Chains A and B, each alone.
Chain A
Amino acid sequence: MKTKLIGLGILAVVIIAAVVYVCIGRSRTVTEINGYVGGEKIGLLEDEEVQDILRDRYKLAIDYAKAGSIDMITADATGRDFLFPSNQTALELYEQINGKPVKSEIILNTPIVLYTRSAVAQALVSEGIASEAEDVYYVDMEKLTEAIESGKTWSDIGLPQLYGSITVGTTDPTKSNSGNMFAGLLANTLCGGVANESNLPEILPRLQSIFQKLGYMESSSADLFDQFLKTGMGAKPLIAGYENQLLEFAVENPETWEQVKGDIVLLYPTPTVWSSHVYIALDEAGTAGIDALLDQDIQRLAWEKHGFRTGVYDTPTDAAHFGVPGLAEEITQVAPMPDADTMDKIIEAL
């Protein structure tokens, strides 16, 4: 027993020595920063190649907690070094509450798109709500909004297997970015231009009734997309999301993608809006994240593996490698989002 104890004692000393070595070694070389990140960028931050570049070139490790883009602005940011929401409105809101941040920069871009199943896409095409040109599907926002507002049911457009009326599943616009941007897009559609404070009073009640129909909404774009894929056509016939979500999924799950790609359809709203993922540094440590994430190789990985259109890659020539049918080469039909004050009023009303 005694020798056993001594043996264990020695083992303990060795372990302690090892722990000390590793801890001291690491803390000298790599700084860990921590912040709130929208769910759709987690794949990029968890990418080992990205983590290696951050560590080797920038001596940086990025830890995060998942939060919606709007939620994170109002959440308690004590102990956080940065916020990484998915639109510029979030930055404007941040500035209204807290003043100018230490530093901020757009890191990635991706357009808002709709996802659906082929049966639904076909029904939308025959209704004249969607159309196909050069293998890319576009959805006429005005006609879609009309169908939603008039209370048309899925069975009205030839889909009796779906229960209820036509809606677009989105995340909660008061909490998460994709839902928020889709609300902006709908507001633009309803006023036939870009929504602003003068035309807002007229369209707000209509916008409210569209969103009220949705009932409970997810708070994260990633969760909504995951559910779209897993719960099947019945549960989420049509959702709003980011273009990069499907591209990333196709790269990360090539086998699954091969099995499901015949059924999943990407629809580009005309016009759409850009989701610009802006990095907001809250302290000096946080600013290091900006330079690191703008690294050319990280930007390349962001496109190739995660589907974000970046500064360098916004007119990609190598879209074919995703194997995603109907991926638009260029996003040309883009409208600006309503300004922050208008969006603020929209959020408040919803």
Chain B
Amino acid sequence: MRKSRIKFAVAGLAALSLIAGACGGSDDTTDEAATEETTGEATTEECTELTPVKLQLQWFIQAQFAGYFAAQDQGFYEDMCLDVEIVEGGVDIVPQTQLANGDVDFAISWVSKALASREAGANIVNIAQIFQRSGTLQVSFKDAGISSVADFAGKKIGNWGFGNEFEIFAALTKAGLDPAKDVELVQQQFDMSGLLAGDIDAAEAMTYNEYAQVLEAKNPDTGELYKPEDLNVVSYEAEGVGMLQDAIWASGEKLASDEAYKATAVKFVAASLKGWAYCRDNAESCRDIVVAKGSKLGASHQLWQMNEVNKLIWPAAGGVGAIDSAAWDRTAALAQETKNLEGKTVLTAAPDAEAYTNDIVTEALALLEADGVDTKGEGFAPIEVTLNEGGN
């Protein structure tokens, strides 16, 4: 009697572990080994064993991160003797925290947010500034008559909060408006339905995502998709208050103490930049790579995103990934000076000199140039993308 009961328990445990085992397997993204043979690689030492590297993204797979997926898919990482696992983000995943905790080796994050984490004690360092320009817009319908920041006065201005609102506040302050009194600030969802429904006069949008979502929606008056002519767009980059966004961050502690990590960082940055150069020249191929990786967004939306992201990266006068000290200082200054509604700034003091380094990216660019990769993209010309309904 007793024995059979134990047997039951064992059987139950076995069944449980079977269920458990069946659940695994589908959560890693690195299983596709690159098969393509690339020649003329700049790696000097013989590669006997791939170095495992984990990269934390800010969000799910999408063309915003196409360069890394392209580097993985095209075997650029493997050529550098790296085995890169790309970890997707989530609603509550903070890439800087994952990096500072040592869960990942590198992380993608916006400069202002990462600097706030650094000020809070996370020893993370910007080693490559991928997006040279800010992609934040304020989008409104033509009939609202908002063609400049000065027109924000008295209007309902959407913003995402969570540290995404500082460019808006900086622009308002610069235009002589008081964010607390002269405009009505509206908390915005992460889609554009607020703008379409009229809750918001001007909605915050990224060039590569939310702006496209409007252009993928049907205008009920005409029965056709909204057109760029229907919209007014205020670009914070053009207004001179753009803050630096996607950058590769590394652990400051390991950079200082671990030579192997530093060498890995150079290789990782070089291969990633090569991936971005590939996406500059092969936007459609990169779209396919991202879609094949399991992005749920439609193909035309992804191609739009790829193209817009390329515009934020290229041309890169100082070489792709190089951190431009002027843009850095502007971001840091805005982060210190711009107060939000609670009177808080992103940073309370200027970031220390160790917050970024061009050492890694300079070495990486030298590797790429020896390899014949165009790292400046002076001849870059964006493609024309036609969006379909729903981004499909």
Q: Are A and B co-members of a single complex?
A: no
Chain B residues packing against A (C-beta within 8 Å): none
